[in-house]
Amino acid sequence: MYRYALKIEYNGAPYVGWQRQIGLATVQGVIEDALAKVEPRAHKIAAAGRTDGGVHALGQVAHCDMERDWDPFRLSEALNFHMKPNPVAVVDCAPVGPEFHARFSAQERRYQFRILVRRAPATHQAGLVWQVKKPLDLDAMRAGARHLIGQHDFTTFRSTICQAATPVKTVDRIDISAVETLGGLEVHLDVRARSFLHNQVRSFVGTLERVGAGSLTPDDVKVMRDARDRQACGPVSPPHGLYLAHVDYPVDPFAR
């Protein structure tokens, strides 16, 4: 068998999430169905992160095992052909050794959340950003975010259906920036960690948006974190502003 790493981009709107589910539209299902057309048999791929319904990706990474020694370019072209018209694309493909695992070899994952700040309804960006109408205080959001960096018990920011063995995680960085676009002001929250709890990033974003809007203070975030109680969490942001942006490995499988 020959193993290949796939860098994948997708619009998550039509799907109930990454993970394959019988009778439902999923990103994993789209890719595995395309693989079955390239090499007719059952395929099972593994991904760096199992994104929820409506969540997008710019740099999801998965690996697949093939019986044939494929040229990576031809494999990616074949998959993209068979995935049409789904909004899923293999943007890079590289051969890797059998020791590479898209999930277990990853050393850091980066998620980006996009918030569009403007009163007029989003048109071109609809479904790709979370739109809020009131200005956000980015300095206050950054001050609140500092309470979420490092190793903590993140029970407050964890979905009640999360299956992780422990609520203790280490968040490496949270960067908050603003970008002027033709569509309005976009606030970007970039969150980095080795791994995340279910709904952790969206819980962070929903809480920090309330800090930026003035409904919460930065120190309220610490109080919420230390409560270790899901009921203490702020509102959870919608999924359509969230992107799995990048996955880091000890050796970049796509480096040329």
Write out the catalytic residue numbers.
52
Q: Rounded to an integer, what distance in angstroms lies between the CA atom of residue 207 and that of residue 220?
A: 9
Half-sphere exposure of 225 (CA within 13 A, CB side): 21
Give the chain's end-to-end CA distance (angstroms, integer).
23
The sign of the CA dihedral 197, 201, 205, 206 is negative
Q: Among 19, 6, 26, which Cα is nearest to 94's?
A: 6
**E strand or H helix that includes residue 86:** none
**Beta 130-132 vs 108-117: how paired, if at all?**
parallel
Strands (E), 35-107: 46-47, 56-66, 88-96
Q: 253 is written with which tokens?
A: 């499988």
